[in-house]
């Protein structure tokens, strides 16, 4: 199945880059995919999935989690503050921490709940006005606030590079920013460019259509 092909390509890309394939986490992006496609990937043994919307995840994953052990669910889309508590109920990792107001509410929620998901700060590497993410120039200050003031355990950085440009320079930029801030995890690379992302240090790749096929509904 397509999942096996993607796993093979990840191993090959990692080996070509002199990296251990086991250091790369494959997140199967299941947003707006038919349930039967998601179930087929679960049946094949994969357990790490990504969703863009809290509401969709809440409708889909509680049932799957009852039937399949060990599901690790990642929020890769924007997080609205009013859905924060629901997101904390559902997700093991959040890849879209991108503003001080959300970070403060997250810190308060985590303190009261006593547990925190893995956190990635989303960086708008191309400074695109239509995209969410911290401006590269503001990253150091944002991370200082998260780590020193709010005591949030930041694991790494995430980005979606500009679609109309070659991704290499943007992946390289994110890798350098992470290194400068003492972060080792990089969420970058999707179906069309994950091998390039692996060559530039990606530890988490977010792959949807190359595993599940093209989406059948808007999203």
pLDDT the model gives residue 213: 87
Half-sphere CA count of 136, side-chain side, radius 13 A: 16
pLDDT the model gives residue 216: 60
pLDDT tens digits along 55-75 = 999 999 999 999 999 999 999
pLDDT the model gives residue 217: 52
Residues in the chain: 219
Helix (H) or strand (E) holding 187: strand 185-187
Spans of the chain below 50 pLDDT: 218-219
Domains and CATH numbers, the chain: 2-212 (3.20.20.10)
pLDDT tens digits along 86-120 = 999 999 999 999 999 999 999 999 999 888 999 99
d(CA 33, CA 13): 26
Q: Token pair for residue 6?
A: 């993607």
Burial status of residue 211 (CB atoms within 10 A of its CB: 0-12, 13-18, 19 or more): buried
pLDDT the model gives residue 218: 45
Q: Give the other-Cβ count within 10 Å of 44's Cβ.
A: 13
pLDDT the model gives residue 164: 87
pLDDT the model gives residue 115: 87
């Amino acid at each position: 199945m397509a999942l096996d092909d993607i796993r093979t390509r990840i191993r090959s890309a990692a080996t070509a880059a002199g990296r251990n394939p086991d250091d790369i986490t494959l997140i199967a992006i299941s947003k707006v995919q038919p349930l039967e496609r998601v179930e087929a990937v679960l049946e094949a043994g994969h357990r790490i999935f990504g969703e863009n919307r809290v509401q969709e995840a809440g409708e889909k994953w509680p049932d799957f989690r009852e039937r399949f052990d060990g599901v690790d669910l990642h929020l890769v889309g924007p997080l609205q503050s009013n859905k924060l508590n629901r997101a904390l109920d559902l997700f093991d990792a959040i890849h879209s921490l991108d503003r001080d107001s959300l970070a403060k509410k997250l810190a308060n929620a985590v303190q009261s709940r006593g547990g925190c998901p893995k956190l990635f700060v989303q960086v708008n590497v191309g400074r695109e006005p239509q995209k969410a993410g911290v401006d590269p120039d503001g990253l150091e200050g944002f991370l200082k606030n998260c780590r020193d003031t709010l005591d949030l355990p930041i694991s790494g950085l995430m980005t979606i590079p500009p679609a109309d440009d070659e991704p290499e320079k943007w992946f390289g930029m994110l890798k350098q920013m992470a290194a400068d801030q003492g972060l080792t995890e990089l969420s970058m690379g999707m179906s069309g460019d994950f091998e390039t992302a692996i060559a530039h240090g990606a530890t988490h790749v977010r792959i949807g259509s190359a595993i599940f096929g093209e989406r059948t509904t808007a999203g």
